[in-house]
Every structure is written in C-alpha cells, then in structure tokens.
Amino acid sequence: MSNLSAGVRRILVVEDEPTISQVCRRVLTGDGFEVDTAADGRMAQGMLRGGNYALILMDIRMPVMDGREFYQVLGLQYPELVDRVIFATGDVIANDTREFLSQSGRPVLTKPFTPDELKAIVRETLS
C-alpha cells in the first residue's frame, strides 16, 4: 500500500495515549505512510497548516481539545479534510458518543484494535 498516487501519503494520528500513538506510527509507517502524531486537537490544529494529510485518525476523548471539537474545527477551517477522518474510541457505550459518531458518518476504529484492523480501516477509507 505504500506510495499511493504520486508519493508517500501522510497520516495525522491525534491520540493522547502514547502507547496507541506509537502502535499506530509503527503499523502505518510499516505500510508505507509518513505519520505525524499530536496529543490533542489543539496541537493537531497547528499541524494542519504545514501538513498535507491523506487521512486523520483521531481519538474522541482527549484533553485540551477533544475529537468532537477538532472535527468541528476541520469542518469550518479545513472542510476538504472532513471526509478523511477515522475516529478511534473505546467509548461506544455512551449515548452522546454513539450519536456523534452516527451523525458524523465517519468510520470508527474501536479500541482496543489490532494492527490488521487499523490497516484495513485505513485502506478502506483511502479507497
């Protein structure tokens, strides 16, 4: 899956759990992507100015600016990126989370996930 189209594709992983960020980086880099990471939505927002991301994988629950807030920022400031979001969450029970995910219409990677599940949802979203 490496070198899709003209060059290496970049993915932004927005995740406050360092272990999950590291796993995502290792798996996706091994699949031919360049991977940048941010610990929260505010940090990710600053990275968008300099990045040309094929995909954004973001956690829902994070400090400072959570995934919902960051997704709203994307819709207002970077609408072309809204269709390139995959949400990751361990909270699929809370009604507000389920409602938000349903309304977004974006793919969801449920934690904990396997490397194969991560690769599959990235491939599916990019195709």
- In the chain, where the domains are located: 10-126
Positive/negative CA dihedral, 42, 44, 47, 53: negative
Structure tokens at 13: 């992983």
What pTM did the predictor assign? 0.91
Per-residue pLDDT tens digits of the chain, which is 127 residues long: 333 444 669 999 999 999 999 999 999 999 999 999 999 999 999 999 877 999 999 999 999 999 999 999 999 999 999 999 999 998 777 888 889 999 999 999 999 999 999 999 999 999 8
SS3 state at 85:
strand
Report the top-level CATH class of 10-126.
Answer: alpha beta
Beta-carbon-side half-sphere exposure of residue 123 (alpha carbons within 13 Å)? 11
- For helices 18-30 and 115-126, the axis angle rounded to 10 degrees is 60
